Structure 1
Amino acid sequence: MNMRNILYGFVVLFLFSCHSPEDMEGPYFGNGIKNGWADQNSIVVWTRLTKNKEAFFDGQPFKEISKEQMLDLAENKNIEAIYNSQIPDDLSLKDMEGYCPGIPGEVQLQYFETGQPDKAVTLAWEAVDQNRDHTFQWKLEGLNAGKSYQLKILSRPVGKEQVSDSIFGSFLLPNEKSSSDAVKFCVVSCHDYNRRDDIKNGHKIYPSMDKMAPDFYVHTGDIEYMDKPNPYAMTEELMRFKWNRLFALPFQRSFYNKYTSYFMKDDHDVGFDDSYPGRDYGIVPFERGLEIFDEEQFPSYKKRYKTIRWGMDLQIWIVEGRNYRNQNYLEDGPEKTIWGDQQKQWFYKTVENSDATYKILITSSPILGPDRKNKNDNLSNANYAYEQTELLSFIKKQKNFFIVNGDRHWQYVTHIEGTNLWEFGCGAGADVHAGGWKQDDFRPEHKFLRVKGGFLTVDVERQGNKPSLTFSHCDVNGNVVNRQNFTSTN
């Protein structure tokens, strides 16, 4: 067990001894805590109140329907048929595997800098938002850069004084640019409840990453697949069902409670594969799918793109690939975009103003690829050649600049010889989820290729006062399967 986990356990015991919840019926924290968008002095904390302590994982399985049936239901928007075709006769959604209903109630947040419980801040009780799936979010500001914080959230029924449940969490804020401390972070992509590799607990990558005790974590999107079966989530209620079920898994819930996180989204989180404006999924408009993700199920941040400095040697750029795009089928040219002009101009300006030793762009989908010929949804595809060229022309002028991406279901490293262009694909979150590329299709630009699941770790440290950057691909158990190191001469 690492020191961070030992410290976390001691703090939980301390907090718990100070205030134990009463033995009563809910509301509970069946979906745990998530945080997001941390910078030197602020972070957003998210939680949800649930009727039960755990999801109903012993529920009934959904009926499987064909992809053709799904497409017909999505086009005809028949709500009754969407449910009747997937839920067995005489049953309802509450009888199904993973049901985790929300419930009205109130929440209170307490937090303090690690080691200073006597300076704990206790916020007012707040009612969760029933119109946003019984969730609530706090934006904590005025925090201290480079410090870790402990938090505790209490719940109680509306109008009651008795505490019904409590949950504990922690997070670490980025250090100031003057700090040369080492930084480690993990990057993942492509989860799915139905393709988890530990049936009872979730995805094995989470305890594997926990053992590494990263400073922060990035999920690049496709966190859940609305357009995959069991059920096909063609209504808002079914979308929420899939989010609530996934976040009730013990591995996910335990990890998110403890680590600073940045959550990005991609097409499957919103609805259809390769979704774009006008491509609605069942009765859920594309724009509503964005709202459910951005404002309800994850920590909120209006722009959805942000750059964060993590000490002297690292700065990351998290970019948004769905909110600002136009339609995939448009003719390629200056007006066709994934990023949108405002986001691109922000990216150029902030990169040029950065004096970080290493600059890492984290994107939900590839820019270099290579990708399959039949794909038409990302910047490595031929139908986005104009914007890809525009962005790569800028990146080629930068020193110590690297691309990290999700979306693709295989792990890879791509380097274009004769340039400074490097791209690291983190791969899918489970072996059962890997695919879409043949292991023997090793292209000239590939420096590494593995059609298996896992995650990517990134380490920035100083060796003899010389900055070093290391990308490590890991399997689902945390074993390193590939490592690429860069040493700066700056």
Structure 2
Amino acid sequence: MPRSFSRVTILGLILLLVSLYGCGRAHRAGLPPGSPFAQIAAPSALALTEGTAVGEVTDHSAVVWFRTSGPALAQVAWVPEDGSALPAYSPVLATVFDHDFTAKVRLDGLAHGTKYRYWIRVAGADDRETFDRAARDAGAGRFNTAAEPGSAAAVTFVWGGDLGGQKRCRDEQTGYAIFERLLQVRPDFFLLLGDSIYADERCPSPPNAPGGDFIASTLDDYRAKHRYQRGDAALQRLLGQVPVYAMWDDHEVRNNFSGPHDPRMPDGRQAFLEYWPIATPFEDPHRMYRKFRWGKDLELFILDTRQYRDRNAEPDGPAKTMLGAAQRAWLLKSLSESTATWKLIATSVPLSNQKKGTALVPGNDSWARAEDGTGFETELRAIVDVILTQGVRNVVWLASDVHYAQVDEYDPDGDGVTDFREFICGPLSAAPAKPLPPGPAFRPTTLFSEGGFMNFGTVTVNGANLRVAIIDERGTIRFSRTFAARTP
């Protein structure tokens, strides 16, 4: 009897361990296969180890993002914080291996200018028939919807890019502490303007948190790079409280890549779309350029400067494009039709500041024309010509990528009146660079130009006034200026 009891006990312990840890070995989130840190017990499939996020916020809708650690069933619930409506629930969905267990859920029928809270209910993959009883709350967050287009409402947002480059990755002790500074602004949304990962660079540990010391070259590698970033506690706090509009730049694939010509682009694009709350059209599931309206006075146009661009090394000219014909036509039409006081164009690369190529990828990577005749200045001039000829007023370009901060005003027709402005910020966490002066093609006047520190930008639109500020990683305002809108 004692021997039989002992065997049963041992068998029970074995079964318990199998149920807790699984039969196979799992890869730790953020680590590629083969990492010495990778083979550890898998977290529960019901855990949201990368937090949650909300994106694509409008005056009536939003997209909630989350990731389970394995196959699971999930549901999103949401309710106005003022209790003006009962909770609403999405259909139950399954997180699946083919999308790395990420999920995006669109919330429709929201009230404009309203604070919402949401939470994620999760159950096992086999609990569909008993989901309501089996589900537990696994994550939560908050967001504000935009004011309706005809409503005058002040809007504040933050923007930035370049996260985790040149070995400035998640600090092992503090993580990406700069995100706490962004939260202190209490923004209505966060515009992430590219280089959300550095797929083509290593993050050695120490001093960084383990998990990023590899170069990405496959879909699983790109996913692991995103998981590494999203494991940061400060970034999770920001994304849990502030809606995000995300766009990629080059390091989501590799330095200075040109989309149609890079064989790694599809894998980098898939991972980026899986890990950010971006809603692509059903008829064009890879399209990322889009626009958002926040009340009467602000419209934001987000450009994709990577997916459609010609090779950087090609000489600049009428046939060369960064945007592609369809995106360029969309931008020009949208600008011409916009009734917003301020039209903000998000471009991941700057207008007039050269970003030279490398021996591996030659040619200027920004809009400006370089000494070797490369660049995309001809296409930019065509856009500027429409701004001038159609009288599109109060245009501001937002950029990042070059690892320094700069504020420029442009007077391309030389009449002494500013026709548009450009605000550049960054990096969020990468090697700071020495500022370059803007090229002369569009007659710039530089109001601020400084490098050598981590930073982000803030914009507040309040009726006819727009205020920009550059804030460093310590929370110090390095520059601020308020501009008044030009009226017809």
Partners of 1:26 and 1:164 within 8 A in 2: no
1:175-208 Cα shifts (integer Å, max 9, x gaps):
1122222110000110017413743342222111
Gaps spanning 5+ residues in structure 2: where? Answer: 1-42, 203-212, 282-286
**How do residues 142-161 of structure 1 correspond to structure 2 at under 5 angstroms?**
142-160=109-127
Partner of 2:11 in structure 1?
none
- The farther-off stretch of 234-243 and 196-205 is 196-205
Q: Deviations over 1:139-169 (max 9, x none)?
A: 1122222212110002222114534551111
Please say if 1:388 is aligned against 2:380.
yes
Aligned to 1:287: 266
How far apart, in 1, do the equivalents of 2:44 and 2:106 lie?
29
TM-score between the two structures when normalised by the length of structure 2: 0.77
**What CA deviation, in whole Å up to 9, does each residue of 1:300-319 have, x standing for no partner?**
32331122111111111111
User: Identity across aligned pairs (percent)?
Assistant: 26
Q: Name the CA distance, whole Å, in 1 between partners of 2:273 and 2:399.
A: 20
State which of 99, 104, 108 in structure 1 corresponds to 2:71: 104
**CA deviation after TM superposition for structure 1 residue 356, in Å:** 1.3
**Match for residue 33 of structure 2?**
none
For residue 62 of structure 1, what is the aligned residue in structure 2? none
Q: Please tell me whether residue 425 in structure 1 is matched to residue 436 in structure 2.
A: no
In structure 1, the residue matched to 2:158 is: 186
1:440–1:131 CA distance, 2 compared to 1 (3 A): closer
| CA positional deviation for 1:448 | 0.9
When structure 1 is superposed on structure 2, of 243-252 and 370-379 the one drifting more is 370-379
Runs of 4+ off more than 6 Å: 439-444
SS in 2 for 1:342: helix
2:137 counterpart of 1:137: no
Partners of 1:47 and 1:136 within 8 A in 2? yes
How many angstroms apart in 2 are the aligned matches of 1:180 and 1:373? 44
What does residue 453 of structure 1 align with?
Answer: 454
Q: How many residues align structurally?
A: 405
1:214-246 CA-to-partner distances (Å, cap 9, x unmatched) read 011100010001111221111222211111011
* Residue among 369, 376, 398 paired with 2:353: 369
The one of 482, 486, 489 equivalent to 2:483 is 486
Deviation at 1:339, TM superposition (A): 0.7
Query: Does the 8 Å CA contact 1:227/1:273 hold for their aligned counterparts?
Result: no
The alpha-carbon deviation at position 212 of structure 1 amounts to 1.3
Q: Distance in 2 between matches of 1:188 and 1:165?
A: 32
- Pick from 70, 81, 87: which aligns with 1:120? 87
Shift of 1:428: 0.5
d(CA) in 2 for partners of 1:416, 1:297: 33
Give, in whole Å, the separation in 2 of the partners of 1:155 and 1:199: 30
**Matches of 2:136 and 2:113, distance apart in 1:** 33
Partner residue, 2:400: 406
Higher Rg of the two aligned structures: 2
Q: 1:305 to 1:227 in 2, by over 3 A?
A: same
- On the 8 A contact 1:148/1:172 being kept in 2, the answer is yes
Residues 106 and 127 of structure 1 are in contact (CA less than 8 Å); yes or no, is this contact kept in structure 2?
A: yes
Residue 61 (structure 2) aligns with: 42
Distance across 2 between alignment mates of 1:208 and 1:299: 24
Gaps of 5+ in 1: 1-23, 51-102
Deviation per CA, 1:261-308: give whole Å up to 9, x if none. 10000111123433432223xxxx322322221245543323311221
User: Matched residues in 2 for 1:235 and 1:34: separation?
Assistant: 25
Residues 270, 293 of structure 1: 8 Å contact kept? no
In 2, are the aligned partners of 1:371 and 1:381 still within 8 Å (CA)? no
Contact between 1:415 and 1:446, CA under 8 Å: does it hold in 2?
A: yes
Instruction: Confirm whether residue 472 of structure 1 aligns to residue 466 of structure 2.
Output: no
Change (3 A) 1:346 1:208: same
Moved more, 339-348 or 269-278: 269-278
CA distance in 2, matches of 1:295, 1:240: 8
Give the structure 1 partner of residue 303 of structure 2: 319
Counterparts in 2 of 1:260 and 1:296: CA distance versus 1, 3 Å: closer
Instruction: Write 1 or 2 for the structure with the bigger share of helix.
Output: 1
1:21-420 matches, cutoff 5 A: 25-50=44-69, 103-116=70-83, 119-160=86-127, 162-163=134-135, 166-192=138-164, 194-196=167-169, 198-229=171-202, 230-280=213-263, 285-295=264-274, 297-302=276-281, 303-372=287-356, 376-382=364-370, 383=374, 384-396=376-388, 397-417=391-411, 418=416, 419-420=418-419
Q: Tell me the C-alpha RMSD between the 2 structures.
A: 2.4
